[in-house]
């Protein structure tokens, strides 16, 4: 559907009415997807990321806070926790303890990783930890392309570590974690996409070829002025992103925590998710008045 067309306009109105109805009957009582940023420290500086633009402090979520949040998620039946946001989870020395704690509460865990820090010991710990899914960011099928996009990383190291994780899973006779590869297609790597798929198809559990987006305007706002998209973004009804220090950002696109909804050290997830700040943000999405929230107005991740 083309933004501005009659069909698009009807679809937007229908989605707004449906969301209002679901809100009225209490469908969105707790987020479906909870992201707990284990750390925002990273050993890479990728072109498709916003690390150079980040000004917020660096650190790692402490276990006491992690346990508190995981306990609340377990109470409300959250099935899976995402232990990543802006950072490399394997930098977090307590990541295995966090995975084990969530698993003990009946919650699956997953994270995105560049996998450059994997060792034989860490590979065994990951497989034995109970983590359900690991997605590895790659973005290139040759050393030249990969290292141009994923600055600070070595292509051969990451390729060898993917193989190591797969071999360790097989050696231990485990079906988990599922191992998927993420390839953000850009003009710099699109010539390698087909070979990348051919190389890994059937060897890993999933391959995601995703399009490049602008991180809510962080990597450019070209085309925003003429933007006619008006669909509400479901992220503000279904997801909840906690930064390592307990602050709650608007969504996973808010890389610098520019729109803070509260702090889970002071309030519960449910209180913040159902609070007045979130109510006002949802109303903006239901009316399509995105200019009131520049982060949303500039975001190409919404439709």
**β-sheet bridge partners, residue 35:** 82, 241
For the cut 60, the answer to whether the pLDDT of residue 268 exceeds it is yes
199-224 confidence digits (pLDDT tens): 999 999 999 998 877 655 655 555 44
Each residue's pLDDT tens digit, 39-84: 999 999 888 888 878 899 999 999 999 999 999 999 999 999 999 9
Lowest mean pLDDT across 28-37, 246-255, 265-274, 287-296:
287-296
What distance in Å separates the CA atoms of residue 38 and residue 90, rounded to the nearest whole number? Answer: 9
**Model confidence pLDDT, tens digit, residues 291-301:** 898 888 888 77
Rounded mean pLDDT, 94-100: 96
């Amino acid at each position: 559907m083309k933004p501005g067309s009659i069909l698009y306009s009807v679809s937007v109105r229908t989605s707004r009415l449906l969301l209002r109805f679901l809100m009225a009957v209490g469908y969105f009582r707790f987020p479906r997807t909870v992201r707990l940023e284990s750390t925002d420290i990273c050993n890479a500086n990728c072109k498709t990321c916003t690390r150079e633009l980040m000004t917020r402090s660096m650190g790692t979520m402490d276990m006491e806070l992690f346990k508190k949040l995981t306990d609340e998620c377990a109470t409300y039946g959250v099935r899976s926790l995402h232990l990543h946001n802006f950072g490399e989870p394997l930098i977090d020395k307590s990541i295995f303890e966090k995975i084990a704690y969530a698993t003990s509460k009946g919650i699956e865990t997953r994270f995105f990783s560049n996998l450059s820090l994997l060792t034989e010991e860490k590979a065994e710990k990951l497989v034995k930890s109970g983590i359900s899914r690991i997605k590895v960011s790659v973005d290139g099928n040759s050393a030249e392309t990969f290292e141009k996009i994923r600055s600070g990383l070595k292509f051969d190291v990451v390729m060898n570590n993917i193989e190591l994780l797969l071999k360790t899973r097989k050696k231990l006779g485990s079906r988990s974690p599922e191992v998927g590869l993420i390839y953000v297609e850009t003009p710099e790597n699109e010539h390698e996409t087909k070979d990348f798929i051919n190389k890994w198809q059937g060897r890993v559990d999933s391959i995601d070829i995703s399009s490049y987006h602008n991180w809510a305007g962080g990597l450019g706002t070209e085309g925003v002025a003429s933007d006619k998209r008006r669909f509400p973004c479901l992220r503000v009804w279904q997801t909840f992103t906690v930064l390592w220090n307990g602050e709650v950002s608007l969504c996973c696109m808010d890389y610098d925590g520019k729109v803070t909804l509260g702090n889970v050290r002071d309030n519960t997830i449910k209180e913040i998710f159902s609070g007045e700040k979130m109510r006002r943000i949802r109303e903006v999405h239901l009316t399509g008045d995105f200019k009131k929230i520049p982060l949303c107005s500039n975001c190409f991740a919404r439709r």
